[in-house]
Amino acid sequence: MMYEFTDDYLTGVEQIDNEHRKLFAIANEAYELLKDNFVSDKYDYIREILEELRGYTKTHFAHEEEYMDKIQYRRRFSQKIQHAEFIKKLEDIDLDGIDENQQETLLEILDFLANWLVSHIKKSDTLINK
Ligand SMILES: [Fe+2]
Ligand SMILES: [Fe+2]
């Protein structure tokens, strides 16, 4: 497993932690696909992962924002801006352009996702319940 969900990522809110685990699982799925040399055409798989990621992040952000509103978390506005930027970035990935550049697209998704997991979950989400 490339991306491991360790205690550093825990927020202490069970539902949020479980959703973060799922995001790690999607990142690992993308990594496995990147490494897989037996699949020559990865287009459908990339599409599936991207759609899963788009859908799941929206669900997760909605839950997390609901929780932050409920506890009147004082940094919730900057959180919401970061969430919106992440969604925008995922939506900007152009699936039509993938065919020629499958590995590059996968790498791009992974870089961006891994960076998000570390920077946003570890540095921002873990503060929510403190
Ligand atoms: Fe989160
Ligand atoms: Fe967040």
Token pair of 1 as six digits: 């497993």
pLDDT, one tens digit per residue, over 3-29 is 999 999 999 999 999 999 999 999 999
The CATH number fitting domain 13-127, selected from 3.40.50.300, 3.40.50.720, 3.90.650.10, 1.20.120.50: 1.20.120.50
Q: How is the chain split into domains, by residue range?
A: 13-127
Query: How does residue 30 score in pLDDT terms, banded at 50, 70 and 90?
Result: very high
Q: What's the confidence (pLDDT) of residue 68?
A: 98
Ligand 1 centre to CA of 46 (Å) is 22
Give CA–CA dist 9/22, Å, rounded. 13
How far apart CA 21 and CA 89 sit, in angstroms, is 21
Strand intervals (E) in 1-130? none
Q: How many other C-beta atoms lie within 10 A of the C-beta of residue 82?
A: 17
Q: What is the pLDDT of residues 93-121, one digit of tens each?
A: 888 877 778 999 899 889 989 998 889 99
pLDDT of 20: 97
Cα 64 to middle of ligand 2, angstroms: 6
Residues 5/20, Cβ–Cβ less than 8 Å = yes
For ligand 2, the distance from its centroid to the CA atom of residue 104, given in whole angstroms, is 27
Centre of ligand 1 from the C-alpha of residue 102, in Å: 27
